[in-house]
Amino acid sequence: MGIYFHIPFCKKACHYCDFHFSTVLKNRDEMVESLIRELAYRANEWKGQSVKTIYFGGGTPSLLQEKHWNDLANAIHQFLHLSERVEFTVEVNPDDVSEDALSVLKSIGVNRLSVGVQSMDDEVLKWMNRAHSAEQAVSAIRLAQENGWDNINVDFIYGHRQYTSGNTHEDLKQLLTLQPQHVSAYALTVEQKTALDFQVKKKQYTPPAQEAVVEDFFTVHDVLIQAGMDHYELSNYALSGKASQHNSRYWSGDPYLGIGPSAHSFDGIQTRSWNLSNNQSYIRHFLHKEMEGITTAEVLSNRDRANEYWMTGLRTAQGVHLQKFSSDFDQPITIRQWQALRKWEATDHLHIGEHSITCTLKGWMVLDAILVDLFFEE
C-alpha cells in the first residue's frame, strides 16, 4: 500500500491553484497532532499491509518544522509496517530549502524530493504568484544535490505563453540544467474560483487557444525525450528507474491511504473515501472530538471501476490491458466500444496491440473525447 499525507498550508496562494490549503500557518502544531491521530485511528483498517510508498503533498509540506517531522516519522513507524525499500517523497518549495531542512528530511528516511519550480522565468513566477524566484530554485536543487539527493522531481507548468513572456522551449531547457531525475509537466488550466479564473472573467487573462497548448505539449515532450527521459504518463517523465512509484499506484488502481483534510483513500478493491477539505473541522474532529462525519465513502460498481481503468490506464505509456476488463471488472468490451477503438486507431490516436491499448501522443491530446466514446454505459 501507499500512504499520502496532505499538509494543508501555503505561504501564499498561487493564482492557478485550487488544491486545499490555508495561508494561516498558526495551526501547524494542532494539524500535525490531528494527522497523527487520524493515522493511529485508520492504521487498523490497513493492518497486515506493508507500506511501499510514503508521499507528503499539499499544500506545502516544507512549511513543517523539525519537531513536526520527527513526530510524524515516529507515528509512521509506530502505526505502520514499512517494507524494506520504501519510496519516501516530500514536496518542497524552493524558498523553504536549507541545509538544515534537508538534513531533517534525510534523518527521517525521505529519499525523494519533489520541488515546485514551475518555471525558470521570474516574470512568469511573479505572474503565477509563486513565493520564490528562479534563482532560489537553482540554489535549492544544487544544495540538495550537493547533499547527496539523487532522486529529484521538478514540477513545470506550460501552456500560458501567449500571455506571458519567454518560450516554453527555453524555460524547460533552463530547468534541465538542474539535472532532475523526473519532471512533472502540466498544462496550465483555469480552475474555478482561483485568482486566474477571476482574471479570465475580468478579461485580464485570455487562455491560449487549444492548438497553442498542444504545440507546447509537443515541445515539452521533445525536449524531455531528447534529455533521455521516458514519457511514462501523460504529465510525467523520468530517467530510467526513476518513475514515481507512489503516483503510479493511483494509475494502476493499487491501494492507498490518504491522511489529512481533503485526502483521498482507495482500498484497491472498490471503496473510495475522502476527508472534508476544511482545516478547522478536521482539527475539531481529531483533536477535540467536537465534530463527526468528516469522511465520505463511496462503493464503486464494476462499471465505475472499469471506467476508471480506461481513465487512468490510458494516461500511462503502458495503457490498458484488454483482458482486465473481463477478468477484474466483469465488463467485456462491447461491440460499440470496439467500433470506437477502431475509429480512434484509424486516425492514429490509439494503438491497439494484441493484449493492450495505448494512447499515441496525438491521442493524449484528446483523451477526454476518446474516453467519452469508451466509457461503459449504464
- Tell me the residue ranges of DSSP E strands in the chain: 2-7, 50-58, 81-92, 112-118, 152-158, 182-187, 230-233, 236-238, 256-259, 264-266, 271-275, 295-299, 320-321, 350-352, 356-359
The alpha helices in 227-352, defined as continuous H runs, are 245-252, 279-286, 302-313, 322-327, 335-346
> In whole angstroms, how close is the CB of 99 to ligand SF4 at the nearest point?
22
Interacting residues with ligand SF4 (CB under 6 A) = 10, 13-14, 17, 19, 21, 58-60, 93, 116
Alpha-carbon gap, residue 317 to 231, rounded angstroms? 7
Q: Between residues 132 and 249, which has the closer beta carbon with respect to ligand SF4?
A: 132
Q: Between residues 25 and 299, which has the closer beta carbon with respect to ligand SF4?
A: 25
Quote the crossing angle between the two packed helices 245-252 and 302-313, to the nearest 10°.
Answer: 140
Q: Between residues 133 and 301, which has the closer beta carbon with respect to ligand SF4?
A: 133
> In whole angstroms, how close is the CB of 247 to ligand SF4 at the nearest point?
16
The alpha helices in 154-265, defined as continuous H runs, are 168-176, 195-201, 210-226, 245-252
> In whole angstroms, how close is the CB of 86 to ligand SF4 at the nearest point?
24
Alpha-carbon gap, residue 262 to 246, rounded angstroms? 18
> In whole angstroms, how close is the CB of 112 to ligand SF4 at the nearest point?
17
Cβ neighbours around 276 below 10 Å, total: 17
Q: Between residues 129 and 360, which has the closer beta carbon with respect to ligand SF4?
A: 129
> In whole angstroms, how close is the CB of 33 to ligand SF4 at the nearest point?
22
> In whole angstroms, how close is the CB of 125 to ligand SF4 at the nearest point?
11
> In whole angstroms, how close is the CB of 156 to ligand SF4 at the nearest point?
13
Distance of CA 148 to the CA centre of its chain: 24
> In whole angstroms, how close is the CB of 258 to ligand SF4 at the nearest point?
16
Closest C-alpha to 300, from 280, 327, 271, 326: 271
Q: Between residues 195 and 322, which has the closer beta carbon with respect to ligand SF4?
A: 195
Residue 14 contacts residue 23 (beta carbons within 8 Å):
no
Alpha-carbon gap, residue 308 to 376, rounded angstroms? 10
Q: Between residues 80 and 157, which has the closer beta carbon with respect to ligand SF4?
A: 157
2-7 β-sheet, strand order: 230-233, 236-238, 182-187, 152-158, 112-118, 81-92, 50-58, 2-7, 256-259, 264-266, 271-275, 295-299
Q: Between residues 10 and 185, which has the closer beta carbon with respect to ligand SF4?
A: 10
Q: Between residues 164 and 331, which has the closer beta carbon with respect to ligand SF4?
A: 164
